[in-house]
Amino acid sequence: MNALNTALTQPQTHTKETMLSLPTQLKAQYPLSANLVEQISRHRQTIQNILSGHDHRLMVITGPCSIHDPIAVLEYADRLQQLQEQVKDQIFLVMRAYIEKPRTTVGWKGFLYDPNLDGSSDLQLGLEKSRELYLQLIEKGLPIASEILSPMATGYFDDLLAWGAIGARTSESQIHREIASHMPYSIGFKNGTDGSIQIALDAIQSALNGHQFLGMTQQGLPAILHSNGNPLPHLILRGSNQGTNYDLASIQAMHFKHKHLPALVIDCSHGNSGKDPLQQPNVLKQIIAERAESKVRGVMIESHLVDGNQKISCDMTYGQSVTDGCLGWDKTEQALLDVAEQMRSKK
């Protein structure tokens, strides 16, 4: 009986703990040069200028739904950089470089968590490979964007991102709003999956302000973090489970109800495309046609080298998404060349 009582009072655990590099250690292992620090600062300022209306160009965040193959991603980045030179008078391209994947239930959580795609969940390797890949993308001259998902991960990459997003399911999260207020780059909040924008508007108001909240230092110690507010939080319209919200009539209805909306970015995928990635160019075309009145500042496109998506397996198609379906490169390139020409003709 005494043995049983002792067993019941002892802490019971079935968890496994694996130590990871501290943010400061990873940054020392994969450091930023002074030139890249300046480049990232310029890109962040350019994005803020576009969102505030001081730069007439359209911000286009485009790239894979989520990264799983660095070689394919670097090829995509080379093509994107070449395209930037052709459209730079009208479009500012930002590379979508998502290393975390939110899951409704279970599944592959992204390159950061499982870079080997085999369920081994080598997070230390994921941290190293993710930061290494980010640096390679930035060295090509591209600004990069990602979703803010795990609060613990932000400190490893906060010096690299030019733009960030908070997803539809986390816009209501207090900690994500506080983290957004602490990040040095502009962050967009998506409307809820039901189509409501009030949660995102509340999040934007919260992120604009400074906060004191529990977090982690670069040395991995718990601390009270003091934030100054996000430089320019904004609203991302991603449609809903019921339909779209990218069209001018929907935006005007939002203005009528909420009076003063923040800067708008449209997600051409998800609810706005009916989850059909090949519909994204049609969404984009209408956005540009109505932009003079809608004042949309940016768009998001899920795009990879090959159309569609696939399951993780031993025999995968090179350059095709393993999460949400994407628009292939040829269609992406043509859509953006068409948009640039459409914008030139309007001027």
Mean pLDDT of the chain: 95
DSSP H or E stretch at residue 335: helix 329-346
CA–CA dist 310, 321 (Å, integer): 6
Question: How confident is the model at residue 104, as a pLDDT?
Answer: 78
Question: Span 279-300, mean pLDDT?
Answer: 97
Question: Does 7 have pLDDT greater than 60?
Answer: no
Question: Does 284 have pLDDT greater than 90?
Answer: yes
CA–CA dist 44, 140 (Å, integer): 16
Question: How confident is the model at residue 253, as a pLDDT?
Answer: 96
Question: Does 316 have pLDDT greater than 80?
Answer: yes
The predicted model scores a pTM of 0.94
Lowest mean pLDDT among 10-24, 114-128, 235-249: 10-24
The size of the chain, in residues, is: 347
Domain boundaries along the sequence of the chain: 23-346
Question: How confident is the model at residue 2, as a pLDDT?
Answer: 54
Question: Does 326 have pLDDT greater than 90?
Answer: yes
Amino acid at 103: R
Name the pLDDT band for 100 (thresholds 50, 70, 90).
very high
**Which alpha helices (H) appear in 53-195, and where do they start and end?**
70-87, 123-139, 154-157, 174-182
- The CA distances from residue 3 to 12, 13, 14, 73, 187, in Å, are 15, 18, 20, 57, 55
Q: Which residues contact 330 (CB under 8 A, 6 or more apart)?
A: none
Give me 240's structure tokens: 């809903």
Question: Does 305 have pLDDT greater than 70?
Answer: yes
Question: Span 296-320, mean pLDDT?
Answer: 98
Residue pair 277/327 in contact by the 8 Å Cβ criterion:
yes
Residue 152: strand, helix, or coil:
helix
Question: Span 108-115, mean pLDDT?
Answer: 97
Question: What percentage of the chain reaches a pLDDT higher than 90?
Answer: 91
CA–CA dist 143, 293 (Å, integer): 28
CA–CA dist 234, 13 (Å, integer): 42
Question: How confident is the model at residue 185, as a pLDDT?
Answer: 98
Question: What percentage of the chain reaches a pLDDT higher than 70?
Answer: 96
Give the CATH number of domain 23-346; options: 1.10.443.10, 3.20.20.70, 3.40.50.1220, 3.40.710.10.
Answer: 3.20.20.70
Phi, psi angle pair for 116, to nearest 5°: -85, -5
Question: Does 9 have pLDDT greater than 60?
Answer: no
Question: Does 6 have pLDDT greater than 70?
Answer: no
Which residue, among 277, 285, 61, 292, has the nearest Cα to 190 in the 3D structure? 61
Question: Does 5 have pLDDT greater than 90?
Answer: no
Name the pLDDT band for 295 (thresholds 50, 70, 90).
very high
Which residue, among 281, 283, 294, has the nearest Cα to 239 in the 3D structure? 283
Residue 216: strand, helix, or coil:
strand
Residue pair 48/65 in contact by the 8 Å Cβ criterion:
no
Question: How confident is the model at residue 17, as a pLDDT?
Answer: 87
- Tokens 């919200």 belong to 245
Q: At what angle do helices 70-87 and 329-346 cross, to 10 degrees?
A: 20
Question: Span 36-52, mean pLDDT?
Answer: 98
